[in-house]
């Protein structure tokens, strides 16, 4: 514990925090421009060149607006809500490696808290605390619409945590480690064909869908429904506290995109450009750039999804989680465990994923699902209801 | 009595703790909880003075005091809160403090899982139920304890017995009943390496405790099937 260690940690935290904040501000601009592009209109393009100063204007507006605290709210919890949302999102970022940790020079570290051997569990543990921000915000507002919004949000978050956790068990079994850096190195050492996206495609799908729901992004942003329903858990929030909720949400999205890139797309590894043993001048920085590019691609994909797929209704969402994702994730774990136990060749894993996916699709579309003496019919449900005939 | 004079520190601390809890309890006559909150630091300091000794590692000590203090404070305030929502939240805080203790004693896996299960799932369910069931903070008789004195005395007796038991089992001289401060210092207990890591936990579960794990798994499976069997089937509709 020398003072240099302390200083490096402090600088790492500062760089990560500042970078995260700046990225969030500009991601909102990117999202608005992208939305405008998809809807065939101009986005914000007046402040600065091509609207590049818009985030700063937004920030100034958030700071200068009057901070209203309604008289009927529970003041303590009302203020605690957004703080918890931001705190948990930031704490989750602590163990994300944003570069090649092993090759980092001593004066520069690519992760705030290195050598955490329970990395994935830590992220889920911090994420599960994030529910408090939503629940407390909705309840403390002392408003039926906010309470209903927080109920929707927390029911959704709680139900999507299960498939989210189950989907990565396959990846963890392949690597025999919960540490993000170990998972990344395992893929990097095997080259591009060792990426988990090839061996665990179903796990990627489940992870990504659950992550969208967990971060309250469309098509699962029932808790907010900014345009259609009456707000959500943050109906009563204004100015900076409202901004804090969205800061937390965007930080969560960035964390999830980092996780997707690291768990399934090989992290900083890319064929010919950034291999595990590449040692040319500036290779470390190239690896950082590769990882950040992958993350940016995933963020853009999430933004495209937002303006492409309509919102799920509450019961459709629950059906998807409990009847679709959880059984599929459980089957996937079973396949990976069997393959690991009997040393099956690696190509059986994608085959198994495909088989589970096709089977789930057949059950879902052919539609008769017999539970004891009753038939649950999925096919007669244009609105997404499940009809049960006895 | 010889026994009392030997354990005067422990008994005094427990009496102080009980008095503090009594002062913090909401009651009909007294509105303010300020005396209780004023006494709180004294109680915490007394607890620390009796049971804790610095080990020499400054950072570790500070972390230990923070985590332990959070746990004790969270527990105290959870018991004495008038509003059930606050009580549930203080329960979460106490859980976080205990998880801090786990981390200090090199059991990060246990800490993370405890947070997920208790703070992330169970307390959230509590908060849900309280928020749904609670109409205008409940009635007056629900908001004050019925037997505060008896509850405090019995609780403190229980804590004292447990502490004495721990001291008797783990202390250096098991025949002596007086509180040896170094023996009761939690972070001075030696912890086996690797026991708290995911690999260590898995190894221990699937070798030493295999039968218990299988039994618990079977019970959980039976409970799940039972829940599905009991759950009412709706003729129409989805939720």
Rounded to the nearest angstrom, the gap between the alpha carbon of residue A172 and the centroid of all alpha carbons in its chain is: 18
Which range among A163-167, A283-287, B39-43 has the greatest average pLDDT?
A163-167
On chain B, the residues whose CB falls within 8 A of the CB of A386 are 238
User: Does B176 fall in a domain?
Assistant: no
Nearest CA in chain B to A133: B124
Nearest CA in chain B to A319: B238
Q: Which of A57-61, A183-187, B145-149 has the lowest mean pLDDT?
A: B145-149
Give me A104's structure tokens.
Answer: 């980092």
The dihedral region occupied by A97, where left means phi > 0, alpha psi between -120 and 50, and beta the remainder, is: beta
Name every residue whose Cβ is closer than 8 Å to that of residue B138 and which is 6 or more positions away in sequence. B84
Decide if A37 contacts A307 (C-beta within 8 A).
Answer: no
Angle at B227 between CA B221 and CA B228, to 5 degrees: 95
Q: Which residue is associated with the tokens 């990060």?
A: B108
CB contact under 8 A, A125 and B197: no
User: Does B186 fall in a domain?
Assistant: no
Decide if A248 contacts A130 (C-beta within 8 A).
Answer: yes
The Cα–Cα gap between A78 and A237 comes to 9
Q: What's A150-184 look like in SS3? A: HHHHHHHHHHHHHHHHHHHHHHHHHHCCCCHHHHH
Taking the CA of residue A72 and the nearest CA in chain B, the distance in Å comes to 13
CB contact under 8 A, B127 and A135: yes
On chain B, the residues whose CB falls within 8 A of the CB of A124 are 112, 116
| pLDDT for residue B158 is more than 50 | yes
User: Does B117 fall in a domain?
Assistant: yes
DSSP assignment, residue B120? I
Question: Minimal CA–CA distance to B52: which of B177, B180, B161, B181?
Answer: B181
Angle at B118 between CA B114 and CA B119, to 5 degrees: 100
The total of structural domains in chain B comes to 3
The Cα–Cα gap between A255 and A120 comes to 12
Residues B60 and B41 in one domain: no
Taking the CA of residue B34 and the nearest CA in chain A, the distance in Å comes to 18
CB contact under 8 A, A128 and B115: yes
pLDDT digits (tens, 9 = 90+) for A209-225: 998 888 878 788 776 66
pLDDT digits (tens, 9 = 90+) for A313-328: 777 788 888 888 899 9
Decide if A206 contacts A285 (C-beta within 8 A).
Answer: no
DSSP assignment, residue B235? S
CB contact under 8 A, B124 and A384: no
pLDDT at B185: 46
Among chain B, residues having any CB pair with chain A shorter than 8 Å are 59, 85, 89, 92, 108-109, 112-113, 115-116, 119-121, 124, 127-128, 131, 197-198, 233-239
User: Does B91 fall in a domain?
Assistant: yes
pLDDT digits (tens, 9 = 90+) for A18-34: 888 888 999 889 989 99
Give me A81's structure tokens.
Answer: 């809500």
On chain B, the residues whose CB falls within 8 A of the CB of A151 are 128
pLDDT at A45: 85
Decide if B183 contacts B170 (C-beta within 8 A).
Answer: yes
Write the residue in B120, B131, B239 that is nearest to A129 by C-beta: B120
Burial class of residue B130 (count of CB atoms within 10 Å of its CB; 0-12, 13-18, 19+): middle
| pLDDT for residue B179 is more than 50 | no
Residues B43 and B7 in one domain: yes
| pLDDT for residue A69 is more than 70 | yes
Residue A293 confidence class, pLDDT cut points 50, 70, 90: very high
Q: Which residue is associated with the tokens 């894993």?
A: A349
Across the A:B interface, residue pairs with CB atoms under 8 Å apart total 75
Mean local confidence (pLDDT), B15-37 = 75
Among chain A, residues having any CB pair with chain B shorter than 8 Å are 1, 77, 116-118, 121-122, 124-125, 128-129, 131-132, 135-136, 139, 147, 151, 154, 158, 161, 178, 314-315, 318-319, 374, 384-388, 390
The Cα–Cα gap between A259 and A208 comes to 10
User: Does B94 fall in a domain?
Assistant: yes
User: Does B175 fall in a domain?
Assistant: no
Taking the CA of residue A318 and the nearest CA in chain B, the distance in Å comes to 9
Residues B61 and B123 in one domain: yes
On chain B, the residues whose CB falls within 8 A of the CB of A135 are 124, 127-128, 131
| pLDDT for residue B212 is more than 90 | yes
pLDDT at A83: 92
CB contact under 8 A, A158 and B121: yes
Give me B148's structure tokens.
Answer: 């505060």
CB contact under 8 A, A118 and B198: yes
Nearest CA in chain A to B134: A139
Residue where one domain finishes, among candidates B91, B117, B134: B134
Residue where one domain finishes, among candidates B134, B152, B184: B134
Strand A368-371 and strand A387-389: pairing? unpaired
> Residue A374: what are its φ and ψ, rounded to 5°?
-110, 150
| pLDDT for residue B94 is more than 60 | yes
Residues B129 and B64 in one domain: yes
DSSP assignment, residue A291? H
pLDDT at B187: 45
Residues B20 and B83 in one domain: no
Residue where one domain finishes, among candidates B92, B113, B134: B134
Taking the CA of residue B239 and the nearest CA in chain A, the distance in Å comes to 7
CB contact under 8 A, B116 and A384: no
CB contact under 8 A, A128 and B92: no
User: Does B82 fall in a domain?
Assistant: yes
CB contact under 8 A, B131 and A147: yes
Give me A233's structure tokens.
Answer: 């858990």
Give me A207's structure tokens.
Answer: 């992870």
| pLDDT for residue A275 is more than 90 | no
Residues B20 and B71 in one domain: no
Q: How many residues does chain A have?
A: 390
Q: Which residue range forms the structural domain that includes residue B3?
A: 1-26+33-53
| pLDDT for residue B138 is more than 70 | no
- Tell me the ipTM for this assembly: 0.80
Burial class of residue B239 (count of CB atoms within 10 Å of its CB; 0-12, 13-18, 19+): exposed
Burial class of residue B13 (count of CB atoms within 10 Å of its CB; 0-12, 13-18, 19+): buried
Burial class of residue B159 (count of CB atoms within 10 Å of its CB; 0-12, 13-18, 19+): middle
Write the residue in A147, A386, A390 that is nearest to B238 by C-beta: A386
pLDDT at B202: 83
Nearest CA in chain A to B95: A129
The CATH number of the domain holding residue B98 is 1.20.120.1200
**CA-only gyration radius of chain B, Å:** 22
Residues B70 and B122 in one domain: yes
DSSP assignment, residue A50? G
User: Does B219 fall in a domain?
Assistant: yes
CB contact under 8 A, A319 and B238: yes
Nearest CA in chain B to A375: B235
Residues B43 and B83 in one domain: no
């Amino acid at each position: 514990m020398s003072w240099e260690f302390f200083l490096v940690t402090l600088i790492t935290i500062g760089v990560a925090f500042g970078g995260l904040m700046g990225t969030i501000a500009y991601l909102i601009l990117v999202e608005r421009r992208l939305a405008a592009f998809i809807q065939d209109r101009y986005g914000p393009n007046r402040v600065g060149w091509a609207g590049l100063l818009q985030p700063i204007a937004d920030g100034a507006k958030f700071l200068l607006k009057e901070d209203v605290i309604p008289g009927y709210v529970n003041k303590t919890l009302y203020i605690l809500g957004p703080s918890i949302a931001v705190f948990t999102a930031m704490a989750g970022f602590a163990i994300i490696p944003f570069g090649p940790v092993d090759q980092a020079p001593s004066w520069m570290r690519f992760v705030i808290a290195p050598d955490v051997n329970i990395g994935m569990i830590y992220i889920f543990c911090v994420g599960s605390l994030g529910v408090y921000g939503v629940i407390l915000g909705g309840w403390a507002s002392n408003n039926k619409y906010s309470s209903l919004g927080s109920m929707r949000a927390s029911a959704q978050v709680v139900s999507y945590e299960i498939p989210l956790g189950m989907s990565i068990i396959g990846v963890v079994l392949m690597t025999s480690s919960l540490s993000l850096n170990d998972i990344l190195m395992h893929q990097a050492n095997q080259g591009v064909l060792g990426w988990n996206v090839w061996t665990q495609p179903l796990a990627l799908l489940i992870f990504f869908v659950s992550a969208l729901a967990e971060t309250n992004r469309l098509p699962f942003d029932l808790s907010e429904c900014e345009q259609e329903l009456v707000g959500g858990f943050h109906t009563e929030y204004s100015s900076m506290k409202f901004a804090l909720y969205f800061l937390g949400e965007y930080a969560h999205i960035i964390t999830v995109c980092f996780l997707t890139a690291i768990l399934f797309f090989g992290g900083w590894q890319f064929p010919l450009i950034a291999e595990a043993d590449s040692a040319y001048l500036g290779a470390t920085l190239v690896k950082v750039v590769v990882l950040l590019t992958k993350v940016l691609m995933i963020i853009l994909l999430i933004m495209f999804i937002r303006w492409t797929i309509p919102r799920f209704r509450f019961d459709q969402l629950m059906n998807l989680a409990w009847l679709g994702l959880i059984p599929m994730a459980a089957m996937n774990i079973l396949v990976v465990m069997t393959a690991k136990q009997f040393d099956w060749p690696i190509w059986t894993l994608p085959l198994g994923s495909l088989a589970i996916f096709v089977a789930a699709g057949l059950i879902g579309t052919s539609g008769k699902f017999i539970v004891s003496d009753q038939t649950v019919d999925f096919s007669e449900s244009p609105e997404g209801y499940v009809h049960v005939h006895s | 009595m010889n026994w009392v004079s030997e354990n005067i520190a422990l008994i005094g601390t427990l009496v102080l703790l009980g008095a503090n809890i009594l002062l913090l309890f909401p009651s009909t006559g007294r509105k303010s909880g300020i005396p209780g909150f004023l006494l709180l630091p004294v109680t915490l300091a007394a607890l620390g003075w009796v049971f804790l000794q610095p080990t020499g590692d400054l950072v570790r000590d500070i972390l230990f005091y923070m985590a332990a203090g959070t746990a004790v404070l969270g527990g105290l305030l959870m018991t004495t809160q008038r509003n059930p929502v606050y009580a549930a939240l203080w329960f979460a805080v106490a859980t976080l403090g205990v998880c801090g203790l786990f981390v200090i004693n090199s059991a990060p896996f246990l800490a993370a899982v405890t947070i997920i299960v208790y703070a992330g799932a169970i307390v959230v369910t509590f908060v849900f139920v309280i928020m749904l069931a609670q109409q205008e903070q409940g009635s007056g008789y629900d908001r004050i304890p019925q037997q505060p004195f008896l509850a405090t005395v019995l609780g403190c007796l229980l804590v004292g017995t447990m502490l004495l038991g721990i001291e008797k089992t783990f202390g250096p001289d098991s025949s002596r009943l007086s509180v040896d401060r170094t023996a009761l210092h939690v972070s001075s207990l030696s912890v086996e390496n690797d026991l708290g890591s995911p690999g260590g936990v898995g190894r221990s579960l699937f070798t030493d405790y295999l039968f218990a794990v299988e039994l618990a798994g079977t019970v959980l499976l039976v409970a799940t099937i039972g829940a599905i069997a009991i759950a009412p089937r709706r003729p129409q509709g989805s939720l």
